[in-house]
Structure 1
């Protein structure tokens, strides 16, 4: 997962319960407000969040689906190790 996608995921996670201002989102996701504002602009363009005025955002149904569609990260456990490959 790229840094951008990871940040967008954290922003969506932060917006699940309540709308939030960019400054508050930045504090919650521990990133710079400008970087978070840019992530919000991308998420808004994708329809995952919507602006409700004053640099405040809320998650949309599409954003909730994005969160639900993202499965747990794979650890690569389905890849055989050198020891497992020996017969």
Structure 2
């Protein structure tokens, strides 16, 4: 899983479940707790999550905006090909 995917997964888990400990996040996303702790530090530095205490984090308004601002990628099925436009 890429860093960006991992961070989005952490944000989604916190948005869905509320405040979680690093070990609970690690179990939820099936990653090593150290990997989760490093990702949480990056998210905390970017103000996407806040530390509640004892390695327990919660999502911030900035984190919610980050989740909502990412637009899904188009599958390309709505793009007309050259042959489709011919009559």
TM interval, short-chain normalised: 0.7 to 0.9
Take 2:26 and 2:19, find their aligned partners in 1: how far apart are those partners? 13
Return the offset for 1:71: 1.6
Number of residue pairs matched by the alignment: 86
CA positional deviation for 1:46: 0.4
Q: Which runs of 5+ in 2 are unaligned?
A: none
Residues 51 and 79 of structure 1, relative CA distance in 2, 3 Å threshold: same
Q: Distance in 2 between the 1:30 and 1:81 partners?
A: 40
In structure 2, the partner of 1:13 is 12
Structure 1 runs, 4 residues or longer, greater than 3 Å off: 76-87
1:40 alignment partner in structure 2: 40
Cα 1:85/1:28, change in 2 over 3 Å: same
- Counterpart-to-counterpart distance in 2, 1:60 and 1:80: 40
Residue 80 of structure 1 and its aligned partner are, at CA, apart by 5.6
Q: Please, what is the CA RMSD of the aligned residues?
A: 1.9
Distance across 2 between alignment mates of 1:74 and 1:35: 30
Q: Which residue of 2 aligns with 1:60?
A: 60
What TM-score do the two structures reach when normalised by structure 2? 0.85
